[in-house]
Amino acid sequence: MELIYTNQLEGFDPDKRYRTASLFRGIERDATAVVVVGDYPDIVAAYEAAGVDVSVVEAPAVPVPSAKVPASGELADEVAKLRAENGAVILLLDGLDAGEIQRPEFGELAIRLFESLGIIHASVGNLSAERDKLVSTIEALRGEIEALKASSIKLVDEPGEIASLKAALDAAGVTYRANASKESLEKLVTEQIKV
């Protein structure tokens, strides 16, 4: 199988197999011939070491779009605009470093950056409020868990208390129902103490 290593983005022949040259990590064992488009000595060396025929093709030149070169006066104006834009961004960043952010008076990029930072700030504020709600909910749930633990301890202790009340009544020779509640047993013990 013949492989073509290239970084082209279009113009592929559907009958050929292509691989992205910049993503090369190792040879493919099925390859019988390799074409490398551009300067990729690692690919060439790897396949040659494996005994595969390798040919190198020069990458086609990328056409540079023609742009109108501004006259010296226009160029000076563009440089002045870029410097002003740069100054506005620097002022915005200095304000961020100081902890105060103010809307720039000029500079399209600086103004856009300020607006984006405002959106981020609002989102962080919303997230902080949600976090605070969750923290208070968690604290309330912890309180409920502690209350449930305390009540379960009381329930666990109740059979022991009933047994001790029955033992006190048995020792005093007082009769009671076998399925008597804790409250009725306590009442009988209290009456026995009064007697």
**pLDDT one-digit tens code per residue, 142-170:** 988 888 887 766 655 677 788 888 888 88
pTM: 0.36
pLDDT single digits (tens) 113-148: 888 888 888 888 899 999 999 999 999 999 888 888
State the DSSP code for 7: -
* Domain extents in the chain: 2-57, 72-131, 145-194
pLDDT of residue 50: 92
Query: By percentage, how much of the chain surpasses pLDDT 90?
Result: 25
The β-bridge relationship of strands 33-37 and 53-57 is parallel
The mean of the pLDDT values for the chain is 84
pLDDT single digits (tens) 16-32: 999 998 889 899 988 99
